[in-house]
Amino acid sequence: MQAYYLHGPRDLRPTDMDPPRPAADEVLVKVRATGLCGSDLHYYLHGQNGPFVPERPFILGHESAGEIVDAGACADALPPGSRVAIDPSHPCRACDHCIGGRYNLCPHMRYFGSAACSPPQDGSFREIVPIRAENCHPIPDDMAFAEAALLEPLAIALHGVGQAQPIAGRRLLITGAGPIGQLIGLVARHYGAAHLAVSDIRGDALDLAAALWADQPLRADDTDALTSAADTGFDAVIEASGAPAALAAAYEYCRAGGTIVQLGVQPGPVELPVNLIMSKELTLRGSFRFAHVFAAALDLLARRQLDITPLISARFDFADLLAGFDAALQPQTIKVVIDY
């Protein structure tokens, strides 16, 4: 079967390899769709993702859905042919964080297509993946694989919105209208936010947000418009761009007593107006991956409570993965999905 190994910056090599063998608690999934994530792009461009440097060539991809081809010992629950979405989290289930319910903070987490652990955990830019049966969530017959592949970023958004609770009846600013910012907006709308503003420097991303969920699209570089929109401040600001200026803006435009959720990955240490935390009694919360919401994300889509398909900008065949990466790097792209 084919797999793509990342050997270094912009060095993604198609490689022939033997199909994997499942361990006792694993099944084999024939991958049918994988979304391209910002973290995949970081690894592709720089050979690493922030502090996570792979110690050997490895396989990217963590937003996937497919079909069970070998159910191993789990044929009762997941017979061959079952259509499933893959939760890419493999926490240790033994540390304090896992036992305490915050398994996304597990220091031993193995996350598909990530070099945050050592050795890196191979992901799903390969035709068949071995995965724990419990990570496979059956999807309805009428849910497309491409849609199911986006359950992972939807779970990220659900977790991020959860960190900003309460949502209903409140005024929110979401900084960054990329795929995660868009999903956060859809979720916050569904949860009954009274007013949703969004900032970005890309006009077409703002247009999409306005068409799908946003009340007030704002140019991130238009300080006057942001100041006027903030008025006495937003009840909560969710930072989903990773831009230092956007994180600083969150401190400025969050109301006294409000909450800032930092979800975007910043490039490094950032200068921030930290005295505003003191004088406005701001609450700062981080949001890292997700815990316990993958099934909730699946339920939202299965019951057609959200439509995330407009976020898919382009689709490429697995054989054209490199073209998919190039398309994903274009500023007008929201989400690229790879079909197998």
| 180 near Zn ion, judged by CB under 5 A | no
Least distance to Zn ion, CB of residue 192, Å? 26
Q: For the segment 52-91, give every residue that binds Zn ion (CB under 5 A).
A: 91
What's the N-to-C CA distance of the chain in angstroms? 12
What number of H helices and E strands is found in the chain?
11, 17
What burial class does residue 280 get, using C-beta atoms within 10 Å of its C-beta: 0-12 exposed, 13-18 middle, 19+ buried?
middle
Least distance to Zn ion, CB of residue 91, Å? 5
Least distance to Zn ion, CB of residue 328, Å? 12
∠ CA 237-243-244 to the nearest 5 degrees?
85
- Identity of the amino acid at 282: L
Which residue number, 106 or 321, has a Cβ lying nearer to Zn ion? 106
What mask, x for binding Zn ion by CB under 5 A, covers residues 84 to 123? -------xx--x--x-------x-----------------
Which residue number, 85 or 98, has a Cβ lying nearer to Zn ion? 98
- For tokens 């990342």, the residue is 6
Which residue number, 134 or 215, has a Cβ lying nearer to Zn ion? 134
Least distance to Zn ion, CB of residue 225, Å? 30
Residues in contact with Zn ion, counted by CB under 5 A, come to a total of 6
Which residue number, 85 or 254, has a Cβ lying nearer to Zn ion? 85
Number of alpha carbons in the 13 Å side-chain half-sphere of residue 35:
30
Least distance to Zn ion, CB of residue 45, Å? 15
Which residue number, 119 or 203, has a Cβ lying nearer to Zn ion? 119
- Does the CA dihedral 58-63-66-70 come out positive or negative? positive
Listed residue (43, 41, 44) closest to 52, CA to CA: 43
| 37 near Zn ion, judged by CB under 5 A | yes
Which residue number, 35 or 162, has a Cβ lying nearer to Zn ion? 35
Listed residue (121, 171, 98) closest to 6, CA to CA: 121
Give contact residues for Zn ion (rule: CB under 5 A): 37, 91-92, 95, 98, 106
